[in-house]
């Protein structure tokens, strides 16, 4: 819920610290987390930010912004 609030109100949220994760990750979440971690360790931070954003945004939220706005959100997530 906190991640969703942060993505919906980026101007009001300056930082977010998650202290509890999921009890059990479903296969999609698990694979996504592994990919993000691998890309982050490889120094591909912008590329890692893209699937991280997909995990936080709904399809509706992804349909609304322009490609430039999505790139800006990815850069903020990086």
In contact, 16 and 2? CB cutoff 8 Å: yes
CA-CA-CA-CA torsion sign (37, 16, 49, 21): positive
pLDDT digits (tens, 9 = 90+) for 20-66: 666 777 888 888 889 999 999 999 999 999 988 888 888 888 888 89
pTM over 0.85: no
The region that residue 43 occupies, defined by phi over 0 for left and psi between -120 and 50 for alpha, beta otherwise, is left
């Amino acid at each position: 819920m906190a991640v969703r609030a942060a993505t919906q109100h980026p101007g009001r949220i300056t930082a977010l610290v998650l202290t509890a994760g999921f009890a059990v990750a479903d296969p999609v979440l698990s694979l996504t987390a592994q990919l993000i971690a691998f890309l982050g360790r490889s120094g591909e931070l912008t590329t890692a930010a893209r699937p991280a954003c997909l995990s936080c945004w709904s399809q509706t939220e992804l349909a609304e912004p322009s490609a430039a706005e999505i790139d800006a959100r990815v850069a903020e997530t990086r």
